[in-house]
Amino acid sequence: MKVEEICSVLNGELVCSSDRNSHEVTYAFASDLMSDVLTINCNNLLLITGLANLQTIRTAEMSDINCILFVRNKSVTPEMKNLAEELGMTLITCPSTMFRASGELYRAGMKPLF
């Protein structure tokens, strides 16, 4: 699923993207627990989270995750955005809850990891 489709499905806002809307992800994983994210071994993954801080970006970096969706209207701080841009990550924010965002994306064809 392309980033622009994710934004469209969830009424989301693209905060930053190194490769604009051509970025595409196949799988999604939803968690606020970063140690949980670090156990995932998958490429081409969208991280859906309500945890918005620098460690979210760092965790994604270590997990080779290039696209993060922040739910519940969480704010991306300038420091988070700067780091994400430096790492070439795509950040999206949306007003939905994690449950709703996950459900809408699943209905639109996003695949679960397992």
Partner 1 sequence: MAMSFEYKVTGGDFTRAGYASSQVKKMLKQLGVDNTVIKRVVVCLYEAEVNIVAHAWDGVISVDLNTDSIFLKLTDNGPGIANIEQAMQKGYSTASPEVREMGFGAGMGLPNISANADRFVINSEPGKGTTLEITINLNSNAV
Contact residues for partner 1, defined by CB under 8 A: 32-39, 41, 51, 53-56, 58-59, 61-64, 79
Would you state the torsion angle of the CA atoms of residues 28, 34, 37, 39, taken in this order, to the nearest 10 degrees? -170
20 — alpha (psi -120 to 50), left (phi > 0) or beta?
A: left
Taking the complex as a whole, the smallest distance from the CB of residue 9 to partner 1 amounts, in Å, to 25
The amino acid at 66? N
Taking the complex as a whole, the smallest distance from the CB of residue 88 to partner 1 amounts, in Å, to 12
Which runs of E-coded beta strand occur in 17-53?
27-30, 45-49
Closer of 5 and 61 to partner 1 (Cβ): 61
Closer of 55 and 75 to partner 1 (Cβ): 55
Taking the complex as a whole, the smallest distance from the CB of residue 76 to partner 1 amounts, in Å, to 15
Residue 28, beta-bridge partner list? 46, 112
Closer of 87 and 108 to partner 1 (Cβ): 87
